[in-house]
Structure 1
């Protein structure tokens, strides 16, 4: 009788393990940016500093892409001749932002939605106007640019499909094991 109980419980546990739902895998990375972060130093008056950045959508679906701008400096971003910033879409040459660097700081510039596995590249330049005088001499500052997607911060995986059956097979297996145990207990009491 004990052998039957052990066999029944073993079969119930094995069935439960096989019937367990398995969540679909989700990639941790949604975008790949090169470089991941751009930090710039201040150019001399009349000089420019240029760079390019690109981002790739690693998913099959569309992703909203944005460029976060941050920075810190006092003399470079204010005064009569502040640091100028220009961002353009590399492929088309379409301007994304033209203005002072100070106005772009702590802003998130929305970029076109990026199709699945597509690339996007932008070019940027910062210029200190040639009219800038000695008040900007040895002025330092920092500008940082980083690609982001609104889905980067989402940690909710409830939208993922579950593969395998639901919890009902577990409940059925537990019910069968309970019923088998009850029947075995009743038979044992009748025979003794």
Structure 2
């Protein structure tokens, strides 16, 4: 594990993304990687990707050690509201970090507000190292599991605003763009 940590966050993020990026060949058959449906043909002519940018994170508890968090992610949209992707961000302590994830979205789940959607992603986060290694549960060498629920409002077929709940630590406000 120390070897992976020594590679640095950039290469670690690339390794996490590679794990989600496509099929794995085994015994002459193609088996899907961690992103089920990645190779399924696109249905219709709708968007295939979604970018998310967050310039603002609010921590529930103030700490002088907290830094501004910026996040940028790219997701591959899959059939039946599923998605997978990766995010690069500066964590709450200014460390470069990454998150590789799969997820599911439920558009229009609230009949009275059809533009409201909910989603959840789950994956592996990397970046809480050194004296901040205990700031995320189950952290092993900078790698830890994460589950991030979100709620959003679709402004148009391409644009939305979204709030992501970051455990008991904070919430993140951002915008998405589908293309």
Q: TM-score range by the shorter chain?
A: under 0.3
The TM-score, its normalising length taken from structure 2, stands at 0.23
Structure 1 or 2: more helix by fraction: 1
**Relative contact order higher in (CA < 8 Å, ≥ 6 apart):** 1
The TM-score, its normalising length taken from structure 1, stands at 0.22
Greater Rg, structure 1 or structure 2? 1
Structure 1 or 2: more strand by fraction: 2
